[in-house]
């Protein structure tokens, strides 16, 4: 069995994408396309044929001619997607696995695979109607979402099987599109578990992607008065200059998990800098699963429905309303008073949030059978 995995604009070691490559390549041939900022030739290691496609970073230009940067980005992406389309047309494979759709050829890429009688697996990481061009607003946003729902329905119809990050995302999309397809829920499980005997009175924020945490910063500043420290794992920014904090640069996964395991709480509460809601409501980011696997309770935004449901179900953290600053501070302090019972629950349920042989077997069977 040969599987062509389209990573699109995901980097080679993207956690979710590369995990699927690793699992499927154990017993089958995998052709793996991903993006790189360096010029590399295709190469093979074991059962995996790596196909890096170069995406040149835009040159730095003044804001007044920023449209040139955007134009350069569009041209770069167009070149990559033309090459991906050729892979779908010409490569020898049995299964086509999309980790993202081709924005220039959102339906043509699916049609080519169907015409070649290939099995199509579509892994929906994001809430595409909102996430795609998330900076749009007003009439443009409404028109974009209408077009995207049309495209998504056509993509679903042409797909043989679908994969979602959360049950809530699947239910919402199936309800809107009035469609049913074989599916599997595959959250962003952690890869390892950790347990530390020493916890710092510290709240950590994990990730390299900028997030809007204006309300959360007020909460953290008040918690600092109660003796908590705040640490950012993986980045620093001028955005955090109004809050006392420590930070680390980007860390390898194992080191990141060790840092995470030392904290009392992991903050998973924020807003997008774009116009998207459901993409966050139904999300299951790595930082949520990594936190639980590292033995660290989570502080979850109440609007993050999928994560909040898990926290309430197993009592593995605290759910807050960030706009209620004082109420959120009280919730965190209450959780800290009952900290030992939360840690006990995390130890009891953490295996639910980590990859294991049963989860891997279920994934592989779903793809191949």
pLDDT tens per residue, range 131-159: 888 888 899 999 999 999 999 999 999 99
pLDDT tens per residue, range 102-133: 999 999 999 999 999 999 999 999 999 998 88
Bridge partners of 183, per DSSP, are 162
pLDDT tens per residue, range 2-50: 999 999 999 999 999 999 999 999 999 999 999 998 888 999 999 999 9
Whole-number Cα distances in Å, 212 to 239, 247, 269, 275: 9, 17, 9, 12
Length of the chain: 369
pLDDT at 64: 45
In angstroms, the CA 301 to CA 296 distance is 16
pLDDT at 66: 65
pLDDT at 67: 66
16 touches 125 (CB < 8 A): yes
Q: Is 251 helix (H, G, I), strand (E, B) or coil?
A: coil
In angstroms, the CA 345 to CA 295 distance is 10
pLDDT at 6: 98
Whole-number Cα distances in Å, 353 to 294, 316, 338: 10, 12, 22
10 touches 17 (CB < 8 A): yes
Which residues does 104 contact at the CB level (< 8 Å), separation at least 6? Answer: 77, 78, 81, 82
Which residues does 220 contact at the CB level (< 8 Å), separation at least 6? Answer: 203, 228, 230, 243, 267
| pTM assigned to the model | 0.92
| Sheet with 246-248, edge to edge strand ranges | 246-248, 229-233, 202-206, 265-268, 298-301, 317-320
pLDDT tens per residue, range 38-56: 888 999 999 999 999 987 6
Tokens describing residue 340: 């030992």
- Set out the domains of the chain in order of their start, with CATH numbers: 2-187+356-368 (3.40.50.2000), 202-353 (3.40.50.2000)
- 326, pLDDT greater than 50: yes
Tokens describing residue 57: 């970073």
Who has greater pLDDT, 199 or 62?
199
pLDDT at 105: 96
């Amino acid at each position: 069995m040969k599987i062509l995995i389209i990573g699109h604009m995901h980097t080679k070691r993207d956690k979710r994408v590369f995990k699927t490559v690793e699992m499927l390549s154990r017993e089958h041939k995998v052709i793996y396309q991903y993006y790189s900022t360096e010029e590399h030739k295709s190469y093979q290691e074991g059962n995996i044929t790596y196909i890096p496609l170069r995406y040149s970073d835009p040159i730095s230009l003044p804001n007044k001619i920023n449209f040139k940067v955007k134009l350069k980005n569009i041209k770069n992406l167009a070149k990559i997607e033309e090459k991906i389309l050729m892979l779908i047309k010409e490569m020898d494979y049995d299964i086509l696995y999309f980790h993202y759709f081709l924005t220039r050829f959102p339906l043509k890429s699916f049609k080519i695979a169907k015409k070649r009688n290939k099995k199509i697996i579509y892994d929906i990481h994001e809430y595409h109607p909102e996430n795609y061009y998330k900076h749009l607003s007003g009439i443009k946003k409404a028109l974009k979402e209408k077009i995207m729902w049309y495209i998504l329905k056509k993509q679903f119809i042409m797909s043989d099987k679908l994969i979602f990050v959360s049950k809530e995302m699947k239910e919402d999309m199936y309800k809107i599109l009035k469609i049913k397809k074989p599916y599997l829920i595959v959250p962003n499980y952690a890869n390892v578990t950790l347990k530390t005997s020493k916890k710092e009175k510290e709240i950590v924020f994990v990730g390299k992607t900028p997030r809007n945490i204006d309300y959360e910063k007020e909460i953290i500043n008040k918690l600092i008065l109660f003796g908590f420290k705040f640490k950012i794992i993986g980045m620093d920014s001028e955005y955090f200059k109004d809050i006392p904090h420590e930070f680390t640069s980007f860390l390898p996964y194992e080191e990141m998990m060790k840092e995470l395991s030392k904290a009392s709480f992991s903050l998973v509460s924020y807003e997008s800098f774009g116009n998207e809601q459901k993409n966050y409501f139904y999300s299951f980011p790595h930082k949520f699963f990594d936190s639980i696997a590292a033995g660290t309770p989570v502080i979850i935004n109440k609007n993050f429905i999928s994560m909040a449901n898990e926290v309430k179900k197993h009592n593995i953290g605290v759910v807050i309303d960030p706009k209620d600053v004082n109420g959120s501070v009280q919730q965190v302090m209450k959780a800290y008073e009952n900290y030992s019972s939360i840690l006990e629950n995390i130890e009891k349920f953490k295996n639910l949030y980590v990859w294991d042989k049963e989860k891997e077997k279920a994934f592989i069977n779903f793809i191949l059978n």
